Structure 1
């Protein structure tokens, strides 16, 4: 399982690479817009968040980069947003079931309806998970995902008790989505890609201004729109499986633009958080166990894959692992091990 990949905090000097990742991620990847100002601001905010320079930590946004420790090449990224719905609304559609019955007509129906909500205030959000095609396989995607939970475990006070993730819905290569075409387009008078950019670059007041305030009956939507409610993009299926493995569950809540699913879990019950523990690192034969290990230093966190042997609270591993973590023998670290 061991490899030369390491997850570490983003820096301002990765701007050009981050732009490339945004371009490669494709339409509908709202957290990686192809927008220079937004991406620069996110890098600046991430740097301040990691260094503890934000006056309000609940607004922290932590962007981490997947780096090949040997070549220096960036293979992907993932992020944690300390709290959503605090500085601006976090709108979603909740799918509710409306029961209607008539004794006179001898009829009963259970109908699903979409209701606009802003109910996840203060939840921590994990997202921005993108892995370049050349780096897929070999556990890199799992490292991208699990490093976010080890970041939370390193300083839980900076994060909410509940954690959510939004997955990109069904969007084609041209930025077309059946869900938006059936609902949003009629109320916003703009294409999905334009609304997507607005949501990434404004305070989302335009959503509150234009989005319908009354329930929308799902049965009144065209079949192609109904079919994609709660479905994630083909590129997000792997991420969805990892989230479910961690303990996240679909909340019958979907994105208002593309209908993609929102999943949530208590932070303390996320598998990586729950199963990780501290160990002392020592040099030794790197066989027997494999997992993901963090230096547990929040401001300068390093997370990598590792092979080794566990005895009590001592993990014996290679000098290469210690080098990737920027640690010396005898240091403490946090590890999650495969069963």
Structure 2
């Protein structure tokens, strides 16, 4: 059985392995081992704190195969972005060009460096290893993030954003970075990516473009990848769009990948889920869905079939045990439609 649970310091070896498999351009995992361990330590502490308000904590989630004990995936939720550390993106704006004398009227797109999502929550770090793919693992670890937000609603913002990895070539190069960002930062893509993950991003303000960048003046190789998703990110984008996220012409400043956003209350998994009371059920079958503990300090989720009886659902012994639930406990259930 696959479960998603709160990350712990003891997951460090598994997280290092996942980071290595994720490869170039996966900014949130592009960290040295000591920094990854620090993320787990801070996350474990944050899960245990009483949550009455939004903070800048990052909650790390791990996808575990309960039969083998192997960690086969991860994801994370940053409760608040863009406040103490700016969250830089390029916003694509349209400028209207018009001249009566020349009899010309056309629009031109331009890139503007912005920090428009201060105070929002970010979901990211979604990665499932080759060993864990299949049987809905990616969907489970993705949807678990929104059930986490539901379990501690006061800890998170009114809007949720997600950055999708942009186009990166087989050799690790980024067409957008090479033609747009490199002239400003004078460093390799990997160095800029790692620096962004590990610092407060002051270097972006110091070195980044201070004026508009006209898209029509960029090389074709850069224009062609603006707002495009990495070849391995198509599934993640579809999941986000299914949840109600939309692309509003914000892109990553390094690889040109799209940023998508949604109002928190409109996110499908969150809005369709409901709190229930659980009990052990011996009857096989039931309706499919995802069950979460709805306890923030001991957050766990897994796929399950539930026997519905109003606000009470029956779950198999294996599911109850995997989620540390007992008869009469409150939980949250998202019912799969169709």
TM-score range, shorter chain: over 0.9
* Distance in 2 separating the partners of 1:330 and 1:202: 46
Aligned residue pairs, count: 336
Please list, as runs of the form range in 1=range in 2, the aligned pairs for 1:218-229 lying within 5 A after superposition: 218-229=215-226
The residue correspondences of 1:183-222 to structure 2 (distance < 5 A) are 183-222=180-219
Q: Report the Cα offset of residue 53 of structure 1.
A: 7.4
* SS in structure 1 at match of 2:20: helix
Counterpart of 1:76 in structure 2 is 73
Query: Which residue of 146, 155, 158 maps to 1:149?
Result: 146
3-state SS, counterpart of residue 86 of structure 1:
coil
TM-score normalised per structure 1: 0.97
CA contact (8 A) 1:27 1:173 kept: no
2:39 corresponds in structure 1 to 42
Structure-to-structure mapping, 1:24-63, within 5 angstroms: 24-52=21-49, 58-63=55-60
Identify the residue that residue 294 of structure 1 maps to in structure 2.
Answer: 292
- Larger CA deviation: 296-305 vs 32-41: 32-41
2:330 to 329, 332, 335: 332
In structure 2, the residue matched to 1:106 is 103
SS in structure 1 at match of 2:184: helix
> 1:139 deviation in Å?
0.7
Q: Which moved more, 1:167-176 or 1:244-253?
A: 167-176
Structure 1 ranges of 4+ moved more than 3 A: 53-57
Quote the offset at 1:57 in angstroms.
5.0
- Runs of at least 5 residues in structure 2 that lack an aligned partner in the other structure: none
2: distance between equivalents of 1:77 and 1:106? 56
SS in 2 for 1:309: strand
User: In the alignment, which residue of structure 1 is the partner of 2:268?
Assistant: 271
Distance 2:9 2:166 in 1: 30
Rounded to whole Å, the distance in 2 between the matches of 1:227 and 1:300 is: 45
Give the RMSD, CA atoms, in angstroms.
1.4
Contact 1:255 1:261 in 2 (8 A): yes
Q: Deviations over 1:145-203 (max 9, x none)?
A: 01010001011000001100001100123320110011111111111111111111111
How much has 1:288 moved relative to structure 2? 3.1
- 1:137 aligns to what SS in structure 2? coil
Displacement of 1:73 in angstroms is 0.6
Query: How far does the alpha carbon of each residue in 1:288-336 deviate from its partner, in whole angstroms, 9 at most, with x for none?
Result: 3100000111011010000122121111221011011101122211000
- Unaligned runs of 5+ residues in structure 1 are none
Q: Pick one of 119, 122, 125 that aligns with 1:125.
A: 122
